[in-house]
């Protein structure tokens, strides 16, 4: 029994020492791309078009924040986006969003559509605008 305890202490000190030893990691593992912040206008369709800040990293929206810069006084208020505006990230990455143009193939209201190419969609929109 005494031998098992000594073996345990030897091995645990060995592995504990290895865990605490600074290891040289690859520089690729430690590199992260910087967070890019761009101003945009809210598209909730309430009519205000509040300014929002879109925070992206590697081309992916990480979060959306509102205007928190400058003075926030009675005569110079900040136009802060509401919760709907700040949740616009979820609209961009929603699984049910339209990803390609669709053309109605049935009667209006039937909900029958077929996918078409972007070129065909542009041509049909241009043709429809020429008629009107």
- What is the SS3 string spanning 14-52? HHHHHHHCCCCCCHHHHCCCCCEEEEEECCCCCCCCCEE
Band of pLDDT at residue 37, cut at 50, 70 and 90: very high
Listed in sequence order, the residues at least 6 apart from 46 whose beta carbon sits closer than 8 Å to its beta carbon are: 82, 84
Of 10-14, 82-86, 119-123, where does mean pLDDT reach its minimum?
10-14
Best-predicted range by mean pLDDT among 2-6, 12-16, 82-86, 97-101?
97-101
Instruction: Give 6-15 pLDDT, tens digit per residue.
Output: 777 677 766 6
CATH number of the CATH domain containing 61: 3.30.200.210
Whether 126 maps to a domain, the answer reads yes
**Number of domains making up the chain:** 2
Based on its alpha-carbon atoms, the radius of gyration of the chain, rounded to whole angstroms, reads: 28
Whether 128 maps to a domain, the answer reads yes
Instruction: Tell me which of 41 and 31 has the higher pLDDT.
Output: 41
Look at residue 42 in the predicted model and tell me its pLDDT.
84
Best-predicted range by mean pLDDT among 36-45, 60-69, 115-124?
115-124
Look at residue 18 in the predicted model and tell me its pLDDT.
57
Helices (H), the chain: 2-20, 27-30, 83-86, 89-92, 118-131
| Contact of 50 with 81, CB cutoff 8 Å | yes
Residue 55 DSSP SS3: strand
Domain range enclosing 64: 33-97
**Is 123 found in the same domain as 92?**
no
d(CA 50, CA 44): 9
**Is 84 found in the same domain as 38?**
yes
Whether 21 maps to a domain, the answer reads no
Residue 76 DSSP SS3: coil
Q: Is the dihedral of CA 61, 65, 67, 68 positive or negative?
A: negative
Look at residue 81 in the predicted model and tell me its pLDDT.
81
**Is 79 found in the same domain as 107?**
no
Strands 60-66 and 51-57: antiparallel
Q: Is the dihedral of CA 109, 112, 115, 116 positive or negative?
A: negative
Whether 69 maps to a domain, the answer reads yes
């Amino acid at each position: 029994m005494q031998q098992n305890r000594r073996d345990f202490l030897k091995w645990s000190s060995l592995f504990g020492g290895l865990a605490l030893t600074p290891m040289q990691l690859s520089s690729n593992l430690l590199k992260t791309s910087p967070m890019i912040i761009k101003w945009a206008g809210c598209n909730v369709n309430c009519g205000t078009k509040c300014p929002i800040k879109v925070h992206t990293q590697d081309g992916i929206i990480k979060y959306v924040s509102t205007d928190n810069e400058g003075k926030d006084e009675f005569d110079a208020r900040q136009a802060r986006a509401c919760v709907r505006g700040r949740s616009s990230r979820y609209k961009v990455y929603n699984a049910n969003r339209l990803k390609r143009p669709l053309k109605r193939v049935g009667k209006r209201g039937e909900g029958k559509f077929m996918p078409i190419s972007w070129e065909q969609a542009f041509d049909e929109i241009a043709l429809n605008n020429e008629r009107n």
